[in-house]
Structure 1
Amino acid sequence: MDVFYAYTYSTAGWLSLQSLPLIMVPRIMTTLLLDETRPASELEIYFARCLGFSLLTIAILTVMLTGSIPLNSTISEPVMTEDDSSKAPYAIPTLIVTSLFQGFSAFYAYTRYLSSGQTTFAIGMIGYSAVAAIGLWCVLFANGHGKISRKTGADKRTTGFPFKNAQATKKHAWKKSS
């Protein structure tokens, strides 16, 4: 499976996993995070459900905008191949925005864990950090395929500065010239 799609589905899964309890049982979720024992207010329940719906919306938009789900119903259009560097027109911007969201959320969960010591924040921090790390990897390395030379088998975009790249100039023995 492509790492880009793994990131897309892990982001959608992680956000959906968080949104479902907030939508289904907001009283329990808000009571778990309260310091004192009291029932959750109607405003807290409202905000918990709004947060749940927002997380679910972000999860669905992430899957749709990255091209994981085809948005057209016509079969006559050409199918995108693996050689295309962009999966969909909004794939890379969606990847960057959701990776930043995951990173900021991991940092916020970390600060909340340090101030309160609650295990739920530590679990959230670990989940957000894992998905943010996959997103960072995709931003850095999964944007396109390398330009591989047919003669040498090396990436054409590499340079020899400041050290000489002797491997890039050698012909590989396993490559047969036609």
Structure 2
Amino acid sequence: MDVFYAYTYSTAGWLSLQSLSLITAPKIVTTLLLEEARSASEMEVYFARALGFALLTVAVLTVMLTGSIPLSSVSEPVTTHDNDPKAPYAVPTLIVTSLFQGWSAFYAYTQYLSTGQTVFALGMTGYAVVAAIGLWCVLFASSNGKISRKTGADKRTAGFPFKNSEAAKKHAGKRGY
């Protein structure tokens, strides 16, 4: 599976998991996060469910805008360019969702430091893993690269300080040396 699609589905899965717990059991989630023993108020339940619906919406939009689900059945066929094979909004969606995952990991980390609750540590871990995959995709998987037709290697790489002698042996025989 392509790392880009793995990131897309892991983002959608992580957000969906959080949203389903907020929608189906908001009193349990808010009770876990409260410091004193009391039941959650109706306003806390409302905001938890509203956040759950927002997270579910972001998860669905992430999958749709990155081209993981073809939108031709939903609307007119989308034409993609040669420089972006996934979808026209794939890279911007990737950047925005990666920033969201990183900010959420940082926020969960600060909450974990101030309260010491394990729930925030688990949330921080989930956000950080998905943010790291997104950062990897932004850095390495968002461009096609400059692939050489002769060698099949990326032209933007250099041999310094290590030389790829095995590749040089394979291609020396093809050139007749």
Structure 1 residue runs of 5 or longer lacking an equivalent are none
Correspondence list, 1:1-178, <5 A: 1-73=1-73, 85-158=84-157, 172-175=168-171, 176-177=174-175
In 2, are the aligned partners of 1:152 and 1:172 still within 8 Å (CA)?
Answer: no
TM-score (norm 1): 0.85
The answer to whether the 8 A contact 1:151-1:171 is kept is no
Query: Could you say what secondary structure the match of 2:170 adopts?
Result: coil
**Counterpart secondary structure, 2:147:** coil
Q: Percent identity, please.
A: 71
**Further displaced range: 92-101 or 146-155:** 146-155
Q: Which runs of 4+ in 1 moved over 4 A?
A: 77-80, 163-168
Aligned pairs, number: 173
Judged with a 3 Å threshold, the aligned counterparts in structure 2 of structure 1 residues 79 and 90 are, in CA distance, closer, same or farther, namely closer
Distance, in Å, in 2 between the alignment partners of 1:110 and 1:150 is 46
Larger deviation, residues 143-152 vs 55-64: 143-152
SS at match of 1:69: coil
TM-score with structure 2 setting the length: 0.85
For the 8 Å contact 1:65–1:94, the answer to whether it is kept is: yes
Once the 2 structures are TM-superposed, how far is the Cα of residue 91 of structure 1 from its aligned partner?
0.2
**How far has the Cα of 1:151 moved from its partner?**
3.6
Q: What is the distance in 1 between the residues matched to 2:78 and 2:13?
A: 29
Q: Distance in 2 between matches of 1:20 and 1:78?
A: 31
Cα distance in 1 for partners of 2:37, 2:152 equals: 66
Q: CA RMSD in A?
A: 2.9
Shift of 1:27: 1.1
Structure 2 unaligned runs (5+)? none
- Kept in 1, the 8 Å contact 2:13–2:59? The answer is yes
